[in-house]
Amino acid sequence: MLNFTFCSPTEFLFGRDTEGQAGERVRAHGGTRALVHYGGGSVERSGLLARVLRSLEAASVPYVTLGGAVPNPRSGLVYEGIELCRREGVDFVLCVGGGSAIDSGKAIALGMHYDGDFWDFYSGKAGAPAHPVLPVGVVLTIPAAGSEGSTASVITQEDGMFKRGYGCEQFRPRFAIMNPELTCTLPPFQTACGVSDMMCHIMERYFTKEPHVELTDELCEGALRAIIRNARRIFSGGESDYNARAEIMWAGTLAHNNILGTGRIGDWASHGMSHEPSAIFDLAHGAALSILFPAWAAYNVNEEPRRFARFAAKVWGVDGAYYDLEQAALEGVFRMKNFFRSIGLPVTFADANIDSSRFSEMAQRAVKFGPVGNLRKLEAKDIEAIYHLAAK
């Protein structure tokens, strides 16, 4: 097990009607004037946004609002949010929504007191922030990205459509309000993309060369099995099953606050590769991962055959007595693809109506800042081969 430092300071308020506490939590964490950042649509139609704003008013916290967060959140809205915060003297960012609103909210918080372009951090030109980053709070509506408890944010720069991530400890939200009831009316595809996203957050950490991580191996495997069981409950007629939704919601947080990544170095190649089809074709992040993670796994089974075979056995129930290590691993990949397909996700680029014409370009973009992955360092030729493996 490798040395590690782990700190998760986020306060979690989990359960029914917890959104009514948003205002008091902003006030308790030092906020005196808030930016309420959200997407739109269901947050407004459901009355959630109005309830959150009333809670701020009840706590005597003035606020300004900025809607318009979209999947694969865009740099233009971040720039708009930074200018709004500076103009209005905001000292707290409250994000209402899923990963997109939270990620762009974090970028706004980062850029508020930065003299340069916030994109410097996402492009690798800047390291850890030396300036104050605004505190962030969350009212979560979509369990998926895990951004409500993580150090991470992913933004698409519209100049060139590059999608890149950045992480720092200041990005961990001060609090996250999580009411599973808010997720019961999500469209099935959105729920499925969330399931894929959180599973891949776990699997990116699971596939490591570090051998002595038994505890986190078991935690990863157990979390994946729980997600699969409860997703099947939801997609078998349990759309409004509160307990299944609660299990999925909490799993999404634990998948990405890095408790499952302690003492190990994860891979993260699939996330790096998935950014390109998401940025270029506006493919949902969870859908890009359901296509690419099985293809990445099939390409790399011989890199750590025992780990891939264990994954097949412990997560997908593959009986290794009937297979050699490679066969067992590939059977696990096959069952993973079938699961993703069963909940309505694409598992090939053909399923997403994406042909191979831009694979070479996508591969070159993916390695713009160097090879991706840690289990095995992938160059452009490897990534292009994986894209072709995922084609159909």
The predicted-structure confidence for 206-222, as pLDDT tens digits, reads as follows 999 999 999 999 999 99
- Long-range CB contacts (within 8 A, 24+) of 113-122: 118/78, 118/79, 118/82, 119/75, 119/155, 119/157, 121/166, 121/168, 122/155, 122/157, 122/164, 122/165, 122/166
Residue 82: what pLDDT? Answer: 98
Tokens 């067992």 map to which residue? Answer: 328
Give pLDDT tens digits for 116-146: 999 999 999 999 999 999 999 999 999 999 9
Beta pairing partners, 378? 372
User: pTM for this structure?
Assistant: 0.94
Measure the CA–CA gap between 366 and 381, rounded to whole angstroms. 11
Are 212 and 265 a contacting pair, CB within 8 Å? no
Residues in the chain: 392
Are 65 and 43 a contacting pair, CB within 8 Å? no
Measure the CA–CA gap between 50 and 154, rounded to whole angstroms. 27
Residue 317: what pLDDT? Answer: 96
Token pair, residue 267, equals 């891979």
Residue type present at position 179: N
Measure the CA–CA gap between 229 and 210, rounded to whole angstroms. 28
Measure the CA–CA gap between 268 and 243, rounded to whole angstroms. 30
Residue 40: what pLDDT? Answer: 80
Q: Where in the chain is the domain with CATH 1.20.1090.10?
A: 187-389
Measure the CA–CA gap between 219 and 127, rounded to whole angstroms. 31
**Yes or no: is domain 11-182 CATH 4.10.520.10?**
no
Residue 238: what pLDDT? Answer: 82
Measure the CA–CA gap between 353 and 344, rounded to whole angstroms. 15
Token pair, residue 301, equals 């089974």
Number of CB atoms found within 10 A of residue 59's CB: 17
- Long-range CB contacts (within 8 A, 24+) of 306-315: 307/206, 307/207, 307/208, 308/207, 308/332, 310/217, 311/203, 311/206, 311/207, 311/221, 314/221, 314/225, 315/221, 315/224, 315/225, 315/228
**Cβ contacts of residue 274 below 8 Å, gap of 6+?**
285, 288, 289, 291, 292
- Please report the DSSP string for 283-337 in residue order: --HHHHHHHHHHHHHHHHTTTSHHHHHHHHHHHH---GGGS-HHHHHHHHHHHHH
Are 213 and 263 a contacting pair, CB within 8 Å? yes
Token pair, residue 125, equals 């030109």
Low-confidence ranges of the chain (pLDDT < 70): none
DSSP structure class, residue 19: G
Q: Half-sphere exposure of 178 toward its Cβ, with a 13 Å CA cutoff?
A: 26
CA-closest candidate to residue 150, choices 217, 198, 210, 117: 198
Helix (H, G, I), strand (E, B) or coil at 391: coil
What CATH number is given for 187-389 in this structure? Answer: 1.20.1090.10
Residue 170: what pLDDT? Answer: 96
Helix (H, G, I), strand (E, B) or coil at 14: strand
Are 346 and 178 a contacting pair, CB within 8 Å? no
Residue type present at position 155: I
**Cβ contacts of residue 181 below 8 Å, gap of 6+?**
16, 242, 245
- Report how far apart the first and last C-alpha atoms of the chain are (Å, whole number): 38
Q: Where in the chain is the domain with CATH 3.40.50.1970?
A: 11-182
